[in-house]
A = this chain, B = another copy of it.
Amino acid sequence: MSKKISIAIDAMGGDNSPDKTIEGVKIFLNKHKSKNDFILNIFGKESLIKEKIKKYNISSNSIEIIDSKTVVSDEETPLKAVKNSKNTSMWNCIKHQLDGKSDISLSAGNTGVLLVISKMILKMMNEVNKPALAGLWPNKDGMNVVLDLGANIECNEQNLIDFAELGSALFKSLYPEKKPKVSLLNVGSEEIKGTEILKTASKRLRDLSSDENFIYNGYIEGNNIMSGESNIIVTDGFTGNIALKTAEGTAKFITKNLKKSLSLVSILFSFLSLKKFKDKLDPRKYNGAIFLGLNGPVVKSHGGIDSIGFYHSIDLCYKIVKGDLMTQIKRNLKHSKSV
């Protein structure tokens, strides 16, 4: 029998935890009840976790509770929180992963603290200068991987090339049957557009473009992120963060106005199709940003998401390990350095 997929879960981070995290675990266990290929290592105050496991009526051989007395505090500054983070549930997750007892870590706690702790414990890969925060973003035909979403405010051309390799590896681990198509986010599609950094990165990506690795599709503009023409959208962390949040704000604005517009009769008549519409755009489905570039993957769940969103994050962790992300990343980076 092959090794089990082992996921370290910080049960204490985010709003309404550990209720939502443990309920998320329950949903995951239900959806995967026919499988025996994983183990969930749950980090948090043991008595509290046990209480919630009882509350949600969970009984499974696939979970293990690892007592962590303290929790990363939301009341401190990120700097102070990092300083006091040793032996918190978040810290213990990453340490467990470093020791080879988990393949991936998941937390809904403070993003900055998680990024710093992960980098401190797991360390950067030798081949990568800066880690990236990658997210899933729906497009016409399926899902995009967009990175960086905010780990690095300023990036040089080599960072962008690394992000293309890392993002393609993530995409291949999640959607092995699809081809990664990379684009650089820019203000126009012509070669002369954008900063010098983008122009240099674009030339280099054109050289790296290959059938095994990724196809480079050139520049993409903001209005085409969801067109499906490319599925790996590469940008610096400042632009990526603004783009993602602007899309979120726009979606919220439109759906709010729509709700006000639809009559009750109309909602009744369209109940099923509106449900399908809502399901497709449900942000809980693509909850989870992935830190790439460290010696092991770490997933950050949205702090304010509910148990269904947290379940989707656990599921994302499961898929990432099953798709053997780290092997994909090493293969991609080797290719990148050889061209």
Give Cα distance in the complex from A257 to B279, angstroms.
11
Interface pick from A27-35, A51-59, A121-129, A234-242: A234-242
- B195 x A223 contact (CB < 8 A): no
Interface pick from A169-177, A269-277, A296-304: A269-277
Q: Which residue of B is nearest A154, CB measured?
A: B195
Contacts A154-B195, A273-B262, A273-B263 known; A222 to B238 CB distance under 8 Å?
no
Q: Mark A245-288, 1 if CB is under 8 A from B, else 0.
A: 11111111111011011110111011001101100110000000
Interface pick from A17-25, A63-71, A83-91, A224-232: A224-232
- A222 x B241 contact (CB < 8 A): yes
Query: Is A140 an interface position by the 8 A CB rule?
Result: yes
Query: Is A244 an interface position by the 8 A CB rule?
Result: yes
A interface residue count range (under 10 / 10 to 19 / 20 to 34 / 35 or more): 35 or more
Give the dominant DSSP class at A's interface. helix
Query: Is A98 an interface position by the 8 A CB rule?
Result: no
| Chain A residues numbered 142-170 whose CB sits less than 8 Å from any CB in chain B | 150, 153-154
Query: Is A187 an interface position by the 8 A CB rule?
Result: yes
Query: Is A191 an interface position by the 8 A CB rule?
Result: no
Query: Is A82 an interface position by the 8 A CB rule?
Result: no
Query: Is A39 an interface position by the 8 A CB rule?
Result: no
Give Cα distance in the complex from A280 to B273, angstroms.
24
Query: Is A314 an interface position by the 8 A CB rule?
Result: no
- A254 x B257 contact (CB < 8 A): no
Give Cα distance in the complex from A280 to B238, angstroms.
30
- A187 x B237 contact (CB < 8 A): yes
Give Cα distance in the complex from A154 to B238, angstroms.
13
Q: A138 contacts which chain B residues (CB < 8 A)?
A: 253
Q: In the complex, what's the smallest C-beta–C-beta distance from A260 to chain B, in angstroms?
A: 8
Q: A235 contacts which chain B residues (CB < 8 A)?
A: 242
Q: A238 contacts which chain B residues (CB < 8 A)?
A: 187, 194-195, 239
Query: Is A37 an interface position by the 8 A CB rule?
Result: no
- A222 x B248 contact (CB < 8 A): yes
- A187 x B250 contact (CB < 8 A): no
Give Cα distance in the complex from A223 to B222, angstroms.
15
- B254 x A251 contact (CB < 8 A): yes
Q: Which residue of B is nearest A187, CB measured?
A: B241
Q: In the complex, what's the smallest C-beta–C-beta distance from A235 to chain B, in angstroms?
A: 8
Q: In the complex, what's the smallest C-beta–C-beta distance from A303 to chain B, in angstroms?
A: 14
Q: A225 contacts which chain B residues (CB < 8 A)?
A: 246, 249
Query: Is A185 an interface position by the 8 A CB rule?
Result: yes
- A258 x B277 contact (CB < 8 A): yes
- B221 x A245 contact (CB < 8 A): yes
Q: A154 contacts which chain B residues (CB < 8 A)?
A: 195
- B263 x A277 contact (CB < 8 A): no
Give Cα distance in the complex from A250 to B252, angstroms.
10
* Nearest 4 A/B pairs, CB to CB: A222-B245, A222-B246, A261-B277, A223-B249
Give the interface of A toward B (CB within 8 A). 138, 140, 150, 153-154, 185, 187, 194-195, 221-227, 235, 237-239, 241-255, 257-258, 260-263, 265-267, 269-270, 273-274, 276-277, 280-281
